[in-house]
Amino acid sequence: MEAIPANKATPISLAQHTYWNLAGHNSGSILDHSIQIWAKHVTPVNENTIPTGEIMPVQDTPFDFTTEHRIGERINNVPGGYDHNYVLDSGDEKNGLKHAAKLKDPSSSRTLDLWTDAPGMQFYTANYVNGITGKGGAVYGKHAGVCLETQGFPNAINQPNFPSVVVQPGAKYKHTMLFEFSA
């Protein structure tokens, strides 16, 4: 994704918001999927799900996916479910991209590996999806998909300790993500 501000400094943080369910679009919940996220920190949120500016270690919390865990294993310990920005601060690199996440479905054996050059990734478990009609008339409910949105940190414009999302006039914002699938 690319953008170039024409004449004013502009906050830019584009995100791709695909809902993934590796078992198939009409297969129910993603709570049995497992995920590993290469991040040792998250940006906690307030009651309105806006990041507070804190950068919190994930170790020994329900946010710790530094090793593979089922998504549903600890989701009930997170009020509302997962909708949090992970600080991509660990993991392998390939072609200038960081390994952000590995998502697996046990029923289909499908795997998604996500690589990016963005500093953060929003991990969202479709907590507010309820009765959405989709492909082929399928009705999607809560936790029917998972989003892995590589991006700048949400609320970065108001948090001086977050990486800046302001792009100067004429400068190019560029954000790359690579999705690799296997079975």
The DSSP 8-state label assigned to residue 169 in this structure reads T
Exposure letters 76-99 (e unless 16+ CB within 10 A, then b)? eeeeebbbbbbbbeebeeeeebbb
- Rounded Cα gap, residues 15 and 122, in angstroms: 9
- Rounded Cα gap, residues 158 and 164, in angstroms: 10
Query: What tokens appear for 97 in the block?
Result: 């991209």
17 is known as an active-site residue? yes
Strand order in the sheet with 56-57: 56-57, 41-43, 83-87, 120-124, 147-151
- Give me the catalytic one of 2, 17, 68, 93: 17
Burial of 4 (0-12, 13-18, 19+ CB in 10 A): middle
CB 97 within 8 A of CB 66: no
93 is known as an active-site residue? no
- Give me the catalytic one of 33, 84, 149, 175: 149
Q: Write out the catalytic residue numbers.
A: 17, 149
